Structure 1
């Protein structure tokens, strides 16, 4: 099973921020307003009229982006609600009824939303018959661009700017410490799935944009060329090839329900320098697979704590 297909299928079954600079230009929705209480925004399906001040929002995927600017949808995907980094922020949000497509549509219609934001192109026409719908193509925008775009839909551009500025400040302040700890060593991200190992770079969440893009850290050569400098999102690697894809520091996750012993119990894993010298950090895959602003902020703090711990041991 390919990870990308699983990721997209999971979002569909649920019915369905590489944050750069605090001074980046606001997301351009190309919107125009009139006196009817509506405005026209540019979307990945062309111009769409949406309320100037939407109150009841449904999102089948994007959730952390709304919560980061203190906007709480009335209905959201269980897939997004399961993100542990959003715990404590989702009270009152109803999970979509994903028993079937029909029950999902019935639930949304009964809620009488005034805006639907979707990642699922196949459901766009159905959603559009219920309320103004904005389709956002997955992967078309950077994390920052996506955050700014969604914030603009709900008139929260200033709040998004402030969130991004604080995030970037925190990352920049930690950068010298992190680079001092890492030096000329390499960092790597791997994930353990049932009988499969995935290597990832800067394009597939898991904090890669922080490590490689914001902090300018280097990956092992096998990862750097295709998954950091190139456009490759991930690669399935064998246990035997793992030494080529793991660096001097290893961040790794385990898919929920997976027995990782075929990796962690192997001599290959146990003989890696990063493992022997305690330069590994495990993460909770169910949360780290997201890349909304709240998740990115939590990942950033986890990295800072990890590298600070390494530095403290070295002193």
Structure 2
């Protein structure tokens, strides 16, 4: 009888242990399941909704490398134009594989990304089987502070974006104040001065808005210059517009900022020379006053937070040489 009693006690303890372990297993399984369901989230993009990692660890970028880097995103691959930016650190460039001019699927696949960020709509179809693709049309992110906020949402780094914006406001305000003093001393008052941004591509002349790179954000959000009415419409609309030489007076401004790019085999050298010798160009008030600033494309193309901050002084220095 005593043996039977001991046996029952042993069996009871064993049964309780089994039930306890089963419960633990169920809890662990439930926790694992919950972790899995919360490890991704859905973003609304220009190409539709896309499920992305909650905390992306390996990001491949095209155009937005500087924006991702400014918030501490880990970039494992980027296009050659992005990595040519003088505003990226050596460490940031070293950590990323150069993908060349475009993001070829074979090259991207080798990097095992968990998120791809691009301004090229064609990349969505070509790369979506490799990793979630976040498509952001060029020029659609707003001003520099709005851009940081947007990438804070995309990368799930809202705090970093808020911190960056606070730092940008403080430092850029101080930087702009210092540079504005230099400009004012030379007779240039940004708040009362209009600027125009022009771009020559493949022999064609374009007018750009302030959100189309080319130093636009440094000039407006940073230094406080204004766009003429005709350019404000472009800025609020498509962001850029091809114009004819005959229509240049409509897009005239107190200061003209001119850049050029060379794409493929097409050179802009002759087109720029023809423009400068054109009577209509010569008749513009800014041209007559020698208020035309030509800045290096490799420093003005980029529009990420770090680039904008440094462009403020670069632009000021260039203007003072002309004042």
- When the two structures are aligned, how many residues end up with a matched partner? 273
Write the distance in 1 (CA, Å) between the matches of 2:84 and 2:309: 17
2:227 counterpart (182, 206, 219): 219
1:196 counterpart (204, 208, 232): 204
Write the distance in 1 (CA, Å) between the matches of 2:295 and 2:155: 32
Alignment map for 1:1-315 (pairs within 5 Å): 34-36=34-36, 38-44=39-45, 45-50=48-53, 52-86=54-88, 88=90, 89-96=92-99, 104-143=104-143, 144-173=145-174, 174=176, 177=181, 181-182=188-189, 184-212=192-220, 217-224=225-232, 226-228=233-235, 230-256=236-262, 257-259=267-269, 260-307=272-319
User: TM-score w.r.t. structure 2 length?
Assistant: 0.69
Q: Quick one: structure 1 residues 116 and 201, their matched pair in 2 at CA, closer, same or farther if it must change by over 3 Å?
A: closer
Q: Secondary structure of the equivalent of 1:300?
A: helix
**Partner residue, 1:6:** none
- Of 257-266 and 203-212, more deviation after overlay is shown by 203-212
User: TM-score w.r.t. structure 1 length?
Assistant: 0.70
Decide whether the 8 Å contact of 1:220 with 1:244 is kept in 2. no
Write the distance in 1 (CA, Å) between the matches of 2:211 and 2:305: 15
Deviation (angstroms), 1:255: 1.9
Decide whether the 8 Å contact of 2:293 with 2:319 is kept in 1. no
Residues 153-187 of structure 1: CA deviation (Å, up to 9, x unaligned): 44543333233223323443425645772364432
Write the distance in 2 (CA, Å) between the matches of 1:193 and 1:154: 33
Write the distance in 1 (CA, Å) between the matches of 2:273 and 2:188: 30
- Of 267-276 and 193-202, more deviation after overlay is shown by 267-276
Write the distance in 1 (CA, Å) between the matches of 2:282 and 2:219: 24
- Please say which structure displays the higher CA radius of gyration: 2
Which 5+ residue runs of structure 1 have no aligned equivalent? 1-32
Decide whether the 8 Å contact of 2:148 with 2:165 is kept in 1. no
Q: Quick one: structure 1 residues 169 and 246, their matched pair in 2 at CA, closer, same or farther if it must change by over 3 Å?
A: farther
Deviation (angstroms), 1:244: 3.7
Decide whether the 8 Å contact of 1:61 with 1:80 is kept in 2. yes
Deviation (angstroms), 1:290: 3.5
Q: Quick one: structure 1 residues 149 and 235, their matched pair in 2 at CA, closer, same or farther if it must change by over 3 Å?
A: closer
Q: Quick one: structure 1 residues 169 and 295, their matched pair in 2 at CA, closer, same or farther if it must change by over 3 Å?
A: same
Two-structure CA RMSD over aligned residues (Å): 3.4
Residues 248-283 of structure 1: CA deviation (Å, up to 9, x unaligned): 211111223421211234454445443343322212
- Of 254-263 and 185-194, more deviation after overlay is shown by 185-194
Deviation (angstroms), 1:77: 1.9
Deviation (angstroms), 1:76: 1.1
Decide whether the 8 Å contact of 1:43 with 1:136 is kept in 2. no
Write the distance in 2 (CA, Å) between the matches of 1:221 and 1:134: 33
Write the distance in 2 (CA, Å) between the matches of 1:124 and 1:147: 22
Write the distance in 1 (CA, Å) between the matches of 2:89 and 2:257: 23
Deviation (angstroms), 1:135: 3.6
Write the distance in 1 (CA, Å) between the matches of 2:125 and 2:86: 31
